[in-house]
């Protein structure tokens, strides 16, 4: 029996794809012209992320993707959400990490 081998997805290639999805979400949240996510968009993003996080070392990029994803949304919160909804806050807003991955540190 022959197992179907998945093609390895490099961090740069996968993160590039994720950034496009993140940008699409930001545009939607900000009311900019953007087509809504459809089931194919969702499944392609989900599958790409899943595959990147389940590749064998040294190609398991789960930690790097988590960090980059978090940084991306922290920046969005600092630059957009905070300025729009909480401009009077004199200190930086920090996100608290309650995810299971945070326990690995």
Q: Which domain holds residue 34?
A: 11-104
pLDDT for 85 equals 64
23 assigned to some structural domain: yes
pLDDT for 98 equals 52
33 assigned to some structural domain: yes
50 assigned to some structural domain: yes
Nearest of 92, 97, 57, 59 to residue 78 by alpha carbon: 92
60 assigned to some structural domain: yes
Asked whether the bond before 8 is cis by omega within 30 degrees of 0, the reply is: no
DSSP state of 94: -
DSSP state of 86: -
pLDDT for 101 equals 46
For the entire predicted model, the pTM comes to 0.70
- What residues in the chain have per-residue pLDDT under 50? 1-2, 93, 101-105
How many domains are there within the chain? 1
> Quick one: CA torsion of 48, 53, 59, 61, rounded to 10 degrees?
100
pLDDT for 30 equals 85
82 assigned to some structural domain: yes
pLDDT for 79 equals 81
1 assigned to some structural domain: no
20 assigned to some structural domain: yes
pLDDT for 84 equals 67
For 35-49, what is each residue's pLDDT tens digit? Answer: 999 999 999 999 999
**Token couple for 46:** 């989900």
């Amino acid at each position: 029996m022959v197992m179907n081998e998945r093609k390895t997805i490099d961090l740069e290639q996968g993160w590039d794809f994720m950034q496009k999805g993140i940008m699409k979400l930001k545009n939607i949240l900000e009311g900019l012209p953007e087509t809504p996510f459809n089931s194919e968009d969702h499944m392609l993003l989900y599958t790409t992320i899943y595959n990147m996080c389940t590749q064998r070392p040294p190609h398991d990029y789960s930690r790097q993707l988590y960090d980059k994803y978090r940084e991306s949304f922290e920046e969005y919160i600092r630059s957009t959400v905070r300025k729009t909804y909480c401009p009077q806050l004199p200190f930086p807003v920090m996100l608290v990490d309650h995810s299971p991955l945070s326990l690995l540190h």
